[in-house]
């Protein structure tokens, strides 16, 4: 069922492009909001440190004039000389102490201004701490950096020299950097959107090829192949889908063979039953022939019943719906019980059913009912393929960390090329009648109990062995 209401905005290409754009935009925002203010603060701090160092090196003559009480003309001259040496504006302020607190009064300024356009708050900071103070304030021409150096005389700070320098160049540099970041960010954003869309389109095309191949497989076209065009995650997905497609093809082929073989196996006894029933309708049959036909019908009905049961068991095993109940089980009891069930059949064939079991109990972890089913299949298979008046040996022994049970017959043996095929459904290695499902069911049951069923054969002796965990 296809999703409806999806527009191109929700396509993979657009979503990835949008994601790349959002990430790029986020990076630009972080740079703009975090880096630029930090840069501006760093540049201002550096300018203040430089101005403070310059002030300490340039205020000595002004200090001497204040301490020695030089006249105004000499003081103004030295203030302007200090400004020229420092390449900054220099302002001398006296500190007055009043009941309301400290007050700064301008005495001399390198610009010859009597009324100052700045408050010089750093002057009071320097007078209070007795140390060099730095700061900035907004003036008529923009923000100004300030460094105030206290001048002590008569054991107290009596004056402060303030060196000030416009921060216009710092602000201009920060503004330029902001513009450069925005411009570069816009270019990066456009590039990210285009690159994201291009990458997403390429991925979408690869996904679309996989989707087309998957659609063909869903319609039953198992000749479709999933293109593996790289070793990345999509390439690995294509490999996995291709392996899945091959397995589905094998399963489909096996299913068709299974249905064809099962139909054939069912059709043969049904046609046989129909033929015998038509013959029984003949009123001229003698009693002995009639009994013979009835016996054949009974055998065909038994064959159909066994085939139906085997098909049901096999389908339940393949569907995983057959529950097994694992418990500690004495396998010698199971072997004796099943062997006793086949004693009449062995006697009818003049065969001997021998037991080679230990005296004491021999326990394994398994489902006792399913173990008995496996042993019935193996003993029945041995009796059917063993010549009359020969022996079938059922044995059990400890094998390393587990238990080994075996059924050995004296039949003609199985060809080496067919030794593994005997466990395939519907496979029979001779012309004897049988559905060929028993050994397939036995092996599946053994594996479900974490065991292993194997066959070994030489002319005159065939052994089916079952290994179970202890």
Residue 263 CB neighbours (<10 A):
10
pLDDT tens per residue across span 14-30:
777 777 778 888 888 88
Compute CA distances 290 → 136, 282, 444, 470, whole Å.
Answer: 126, 10, 41, 53
Contact 405, 331 (CB under 8 A): yes
pTM for the predicted model, two decimal places: 0.47
Note the pLDDT of residue 314.
67
Residue 400's nearest CA partner among 328, 452, 469 is 469
All structural domains of the chain, each given as residue ranges with its CATH number in brackets, are 59-166 (3.30.450.40), 233-317 (1.10.287.130), 323-469 (3.30.565.10)
Compute CA distances 345 → 353, 379, 405, whole Å.
Answer: 10, 10, 21
pLDDT tens per residue across span 138-157:
877 788 999 999 998 877 88
Q: What is the dihedral of CA 132, 138, 143, 145, to 10 degrees?
A: -10
Q: In the chain, pLDDT over 70 holds for what percent of residues?
A: 87
Lowest average pLDDT, out of 62-71, 225-234, 370-379, 427-436, goes to 427-436
pLDDT above 80: residue 123 = yes
Residue whose token pair is 């292993």:
452
- In sequence order, what are the beta bridge partners of 356? 395
Note the pLDDT of residue 6.
46
Note the pLDDT of residue 275.
77
Note the pLDDT of residue 431.
45
Contact 147, 52 (CB under 8 A): yes
Quick one: pLDDT band at residue 422, thresholds 50, 70, 90? confident
Note the pLDDT of residue 41.
84
pLDDT above 70: residue 435 = no
Note the pLDDT of residue 274.
80
Q: SS3 of 460, please?
A: coil
pLDDT above 80: residue 346 = yes
Contact 196, 19 (CB under 8 A): yes
Residues 6+ apart with CB under 8 A from 411: 382, 385, 386, 387, 390, 460, 461, 462
Contact 203, 12 (CB under 8 A): yes
Average pLDDT, the chain: 82
Lowest average pLDDT, out of 46-50, 77-81, 254-258, goes to 254-258
Most confident of 31-45, 47-61, 171-185: 47-61
Quick one: pLDDT band at residue 115, thresholds 50, 70, 90? low
pLDDT tens per residue across span 7-16:
444 566 677 7
Question: 237 or 123, which is more confident?
Answer: 123
Q: In the chain, pLDDT over 90 holds for what percent of residues?
A: 22
What's the CA gap between 106 and 118, in Å, rounded?
A: 11
Note the pLDDT of residue 403.
94
Note the pLDDT of residue 261.
60
Lowest average pLDDT, out of 86-100, 186-200, 261-275, goes to 261-275
Q: How many helices (H) and strands (E) does the chain have?
A: 12, 12
Note the pLDDT of residue 299.
76
- Kind and range of the H or E element at 121? helix 121-129
Question: 276 or 53, which is more confident?
Answer: 53
What's the CA gap between 120 and 118, in Å, rounded?
A: 6
Question: 95 or 29, which is more confident?
Answer: 95
Contact 89, 139 (CB under 8 A): no
Note the pLDDT of residue 318.
64
pLDDT tens per residue across span 149-178:
999 887 788 899 999 998 888 888 888 888
The mean pLDDT of 419-443, rounded to a whole number, is: 70
Burial pattern 173-209, b for ≥16 Cβ within 10 A else e, equals ebeebeeebeeebeebbeebbebbbeebbeebebeee
């Amino acid at each position: 069922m296809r999703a409806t209401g999806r527009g191109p905005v929700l396509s993979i290409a657009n979503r990835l492009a949008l994601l790349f754009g959002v990430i790029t935009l986020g990076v630009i925002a972080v740079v703009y909001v975090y880096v630029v203010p930090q840069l501006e603060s760093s540049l201002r701090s550096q300018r203040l440190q430089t101005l403070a160092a310059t002030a300490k090196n340039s205020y000595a003559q002004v200090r001497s004039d204040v301490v020695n009480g030089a006249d105004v003309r000499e003081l103004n001259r030295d203030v302007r000389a200090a400004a020229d040496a420092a390449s900054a504006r220099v302002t001398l302020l006296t500190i007055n102490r009043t009941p309301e607190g400290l007050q700064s009064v301008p005495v001399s300024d390198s610009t010859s201004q009597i009324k100052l356009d700045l408050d010089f708050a750093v002057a009071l900071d320097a007078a209070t701490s007795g140390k060099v103070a730095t700061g900035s304030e907004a003036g008529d021409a923009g923000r100004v950096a300030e460094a105030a150096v206290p001048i002590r005389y008569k054991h107290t700070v009596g004056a402060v020299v303030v060196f000030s320098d416009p921060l216009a160049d710092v602000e201009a540099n920060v503004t330029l950097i902001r513009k450069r970041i925005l411009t570069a960010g816009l270019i990066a954003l456009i590039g990210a959107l285009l690159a994201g869309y291009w990458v997403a389109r390429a991925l979408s095309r690869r996904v679309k090829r996989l989707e087309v191949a998957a659609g063909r497989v869903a319609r039953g076209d198992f000749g479709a192949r999933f293109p593996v065009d790289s070793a990345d995650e999509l390439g690995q997905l294509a490999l996995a889908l291709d392996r899945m497609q091959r397995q589905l093809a094998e399963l489909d082929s096996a299913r068709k063979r299974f249905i064809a073989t099962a139909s054939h196996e069912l059709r043969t006894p049904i046609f046989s039953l129909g033929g015998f029933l038509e013959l029984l309708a003949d009123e001229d049959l003698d009693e002995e022939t009639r009994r013979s036909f009835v016996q054949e019908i009974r055998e065909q009905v038994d064959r159909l019943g066994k085939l139906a049961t085997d098909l049901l068991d096999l389908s339940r095993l393949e569907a995983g719906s057959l529950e097994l109940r694992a418990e500690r089980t004495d396998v010698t009891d199971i072997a004796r019980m099943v062997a006793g069930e086949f004693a009449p059949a062995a006697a009818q064939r003049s065969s001997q059913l021998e037991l080679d079991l230990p005296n004491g109990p021999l326990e394994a972890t398994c489902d006792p009912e399913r173990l008995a089913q496996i042993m019935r299949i193996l003993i029945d298979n041995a009796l059917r393929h063993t010549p009359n008046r020969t022996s079938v040996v059922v044995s059990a022994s400890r094998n390393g960390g587990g238990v080994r049970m075996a059924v050995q017959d004296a039949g003609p043996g199985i060809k080496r090329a067919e030794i593994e095929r005997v466990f395939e459904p519907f496979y029979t290695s001779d012309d004897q009648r049988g559905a060929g499902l028993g050994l397939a069911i036995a092996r599946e049951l053994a594996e479900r109990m974490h065991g292993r069923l194997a066959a070994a054969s030489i002319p005159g002796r065939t052994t089916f062995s079952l290994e179970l965990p202890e």
